[in-house]
A = this chain, B = another copy of it.
Amino acid sequence: MSAMDEVFKALADASRRSLLDRLHAENGQTLNELCEGLEMTRQAVTKHLAILEDANLITTIRHGREKLHYLNPLPIHQIGERWIRKFERSKLAALSELKRQLEKRDE
C-alpha cells in the first residue's frame, strides 16, 4: 500500500479524524487522556491510534508507563500539496465546462 493511500485510509474514519483534532487541540496526550469522553473502549482507541501511527500521522514516545502521542502534520500537508492542489488548479475550468454541458443538453 502506498504511503498516500495509507494516509487517505487513515483519514477516512471520523473517530480517527477526531483523535487528530484532539491532538491538534492539545499535543502530547497519553492513551488514557485520548480515551476520555469517547464512547468506545480503550482497545478500540489503541487500534485507531495504531492506524494513525502506521500512516505516519502521529508519532509516539514511551515515557515510563505512559505513551505520549504527537501529531505529525507533514502527511496532511502533503495531501494538500500533492493531491488537492492539483484539482484546485482546474477548478474554474471544470465548473465552466460542466455549465456548458448542462446548457447543451437542451439542444
Q: Which residues of A contact B (CB under 8 A)?
A: 2, 5, 8-9, 11-12, 14, 17, 20, 24, 27-28, 59, 61, 63, 68, 70-74, 76-77, 79-80, 83-88, 90-91, 94-95, 97-98, 101-102, 105
Contact = CB atoms under 8 A, between A and B. Distances in A.
B77 A94 contact: no
A80 B85 CA distance: 8
11 contacts: A5-B14, A8-B11, A8-B14, A11-B12, A24-B87, A59-B98, A63-B105, A70-B97, A76-B87, A76-B88, A80-B88
A68 B80 CA distance: 28
A54 to B, nearest CB: 15
Contacts of A17: 8, 83
Interface SS of chain A: helix
Contacts of A79: 84
